Amino acid sequence: MSVFSITHHKCGSVVAVWKIEETEDELRRQCAVPQSELEEMSYISNPQRRLERLAVRVLLNNVLGEKVYLGYHDNGRPFLLNNVANISITHTRQFAAIIYHPTFDVGIDMESLSRNFDAVETRALSDDERDYLSGKHRHAQLCLIWCAKEALCKRLSEPGLDFAAQIHIEKFTPKKKGKLAATYTDSDGAQTEFTPHYTIVEDHAMVWVAM
């Protein structure tokens, strides 16, 4: 498999998606992984997690065209050791995806539409958000709201965010692709508006945010 999709956006961000269909050995042959990270991966007992990590590696090599040295902040946010650009990463059993921007902070999240989002509705949505859920679109709305809040959490890199109280997604009707209106309220009560973008990739929802 090659890159499933790569999209350049007007703001300068690049979103790339890889469909995971290879074996672990096949992915290893397609990317250059620093020895330190190979050693780290050897301690991951779950083979699916290793596949997902390697798929991200292949994507980074394809997008950046160079050997990438990847690190993680204490809060889990990834960063490039040999490049000043900002990245965010997400992966599922079937896909890996990244967003890249040379200067702006970014965030991305992807989830299978087959996932059960009942717990998300209970702990991550405000009363206003629960009120606008519709029977016909309810599941897709829950999935996209969750992905949007996760992507914003990664973009903001603020520990301990209360998804229900601090991130609000305005009412929307899901489509194949589109934009959402989001408002983040910080601990001092100041509000910032964001415009997450989304698309449906086969049976998955993907949401990303930059700027």
Q: Where are the domains of the chain?
A: 3-104, 110-210
Per residue in 3-33, pLDDT (tens digit) is 678 888 888 899 999 999 999 899 988 887 8
Query: Who's near 92: CB < 8 A, 6+ residues apart?
Result: 52, 110, 111, 112, 204
Can you list the positions of beta strands (E) in the chain? 3-8, 14-19, 70-72, 78-80, 86-91, 95-101, 106-112, 167-169, 177-179, 182-185, 191-194, 197-201, 204-210
pLDDT in tens, the chain (211 residues): 556 788 888 888 999 999 999 998 999 888 878 788 888 888 888 989 889 989 988 888 888 877 778 888 888 888 888 888 899 999 999 999 999 999 999 999 999 999 999 899 999 999 999 999 988 899 999 999 999 999 999 999 888 899 999 999 999 999 999 999 999 999 999 999 999 999 999 999 999 999 7
Task: Enter the CATH code of domain 3-104.
Answer: 3.90.470.20
Common-topology check for domains 3-104 and 110-210: yes
Residue type at position 148: A
The CATH homologous superfamily of the domain defined by 110-210: 4'-phosphopantetheinyl transferase domain (3.90.470.20)
